[in-house]
Structure 1
Amino acid sequence: MAQQERSARTRAAILRAGAEVFAELGFAGASVSKITRRANLTLGALYFHFESKEHLAREIVRAQPELVMSPAAAGLQGAVDITLEWATRLTQDPLLLAGARLVMDQEYFVRSEEGDSYRQWAGVILPFLHEAHENGELRPEVDVLTLAQLMVNASTGAQMNSQLDSGRRDLPDRIRQMWSLLLPLIATEECAGRVMEALGRREGDSPTIDGNQA
């Protein structure tokens, strides 16, 4: 049991060190030697748990959804909440930061049969959107798969621009702004009003765009 615990701690240390190095240097700039130095471990310890730098990067990307707590809310509110949870935790969790940095480098380490992080995150949001559709929260013409893909693409773009503008400090605000514009277009009037009200409560005031109330 003690050996298993040590092995688990070593693996966690490698994942965290790898995430920190990937977040700082990207996939190309990271190396196994830099990662093991950051973790204060040997190359042998890393290769015991991960056969290559590519394998480590794949594991970090694969674990992304597990790092975001599933919201208590269901349907469209749940979809909104999980994107805001991701945006809020991104600046605090090195594994999520690494995922944000690695998203543009996936061609170097993600196998096509495994699927990339875009499809992975769409799969996280889809159950909430299906539930919203079944509950009559979405407008009849809204296709849930297309909407899930749109949300992932928009959130990815928001975090990239937020990184350039503020080091991602304003990412939660950008996600709230995105939803405040999108909700009236995709949701029934009653549902849009309810979710918009929740957005305002979470912010402490109505979401703003360029300093003006949405």
Structure 2
Amino acid sequence: MAKQARAIQTRRVILEAAGAVFDEFGYESATIAEILSRAGVTKGALYFHFASKEELARGVLGEALTTEGVLPQESKLQEWVDVGMVLAHRLPAEPLLSASIRLSADRKARDLFGTSWTGWIDYIAGLLVAAKEQGELLPHVDPHQAATLFVSSWTGVEIVATSLENDQTLEARIAVLYDYFLPSVAVPGALRRLDTAPDRGGRVWQAHHEHYGQERAAEPDGVLSSRA
């Protein structure tokens, strides 16, 4: 059991190092040597988990579709807002997430192993389908088209934000994106109840950890939850 836990931890360390290197240098310029240096592991340990740089990139993309930090909401529109805002809160401090965007935007890398966008589009479309069933969406809205446009817009905002030199955070920019986007898809009654404040992602992220921290504390000794 301890050996398995160490292997899982080593794999995670390698992925995080790879994410940081891909995020900094891009796929083509990233090297195994630099990833090894960042991870602090042997070449044998890296190749035990990942056979090539391409497999490492696939592993990074596999970590990209994460809704960790988002708690279920009665309003599926609010849950959609929370997905985008929590990601905006986490991404600047998590190179593994940031690297998935850079890899997805790299045409050469995209031709090799695809992108994380399809998964995000499908997930958000599912939330929008549920929102429409609850009467939160305007009748003309196509959930998949809206999800595709939103993921494109979110990605564009993040990419442009990294090249602009000012003090506006990614969270503030994504909050503005929602404020422009939501009136075109949400019924007025649902729109009025939505929280799109720039600090929404941070508050939801904290609530998530408090919620699962309390659940862990209530579990019997020796029993660990895997939900967080």
Q: TM-score range by the shorter chain?
A: 0.7 to 0.9
Answer whether contact 1:137 1:187 (CA < 8 A) is retained.
yes
C-alpha separation between the residues in 2 aligned to 1:37 and 1:201? 36
Residue 189 (structure 1) shift: 1.0
Report the equivalent of 1:171: 170
Asked if 1:62 corresponds to 2:59, the answer is no
Are residues 1:28 and 2:25 paired?
Answer: no
Q: Which amino acid aligns with 1:91?
A: P
Partner of 1:94: 95
Q: State the aligned residue count.
A: 199
SS in 2 for 1:28: coil
Q: CA shift at 1:68, angstroms?
A: 3.5
Q: Which runs of 5+ in 2 are unaligned?
A: 201-228
Q: Does residue 199 of structure 1 match 2:196?
A: yes
The residue type paired with residue 20 of structure 1 is A
In structure 2, how many angstroms separate the alpha carbons of the residues matched to 1:126 and 1:47? Answer: 37
Structure 1 vs Structure 2 CA RMSD: 2.1
Distance in 2 (CA, whole Å) between partners of 1:163 and 1:120 is 23
Q: Give 1:108 shift.
A: 2.4
**Paired AA for residue 102 in structure 2:** R
TM-score normalised per structure 2: 0.80
CA distance 1:67–1:130, change in 2 (3 Å): closer
Partner residue of 2:51?
51
Shift in Å, 1:6: 2.2
Identify the structure with bigger relative contact order (alpha carbons < 8 Å, sequence gap 6+). 2
Mapped to 1, the partners of 2:42 and 2:80 lie a distance apart of: 42
Structure 1 residues not aligned, in runs of 5+: 204-214
> Matches of 1:162 and 1:201 in 2, distance apart?
15
1:38 to partner: Cα distance: 1.2
Deviations 1:8-32 (A, max 9, x none): 2211111111111111111111111
Contact 1:71 1:82 in 2 (8 A): no
User: What pairs with 1:131-146 in structure 2 (closer than 5 Å)?
Assistant: 131-146=130-145
Query: How far apart, in 1, do the equivalents of 2:145 and 2:155 lie?
Result: 15
Q: 1:154 to 1:111 in 2, by over 3 A?
A: same
Give the secondary structure class of the aligned counterpart of 2:102. Answer: helix
Deviations 1:16-66 (A, max 9, x none): 111111111111111111111111122221111001111111111111122
Identity of aligned residues (%): 35
Question: For residues 198 and 167 of structure 2, what CA distance do their matches in structure 1 show?
Answer: 22
Residues 27, 168 of structure 1: alpha-carbon distance in 2 compared, 3 angstrom cutoff: farther
The CA deviation at 1:67 is 5.9
After superposition, the Cα gap between the structure-2 partners of 1:167 and 1:27, relative to the gap in structure 1 and judged at 3 Å, is farther
1:212 corresponding residue in structure 2: none
Structure 1 SS opposite 2:141: coil
| 1:68-107 mapped onto 2 (5 Å cutoff) | 68-73=68-73, 74-105=75-106, 107=108
**Residues 63-100 of structure 1: CA deviation (Å, up to 9, x unaligned):** 11226323332411111110000011001112112112
> What is the one-letter code of the residue matched to 1:81?
D
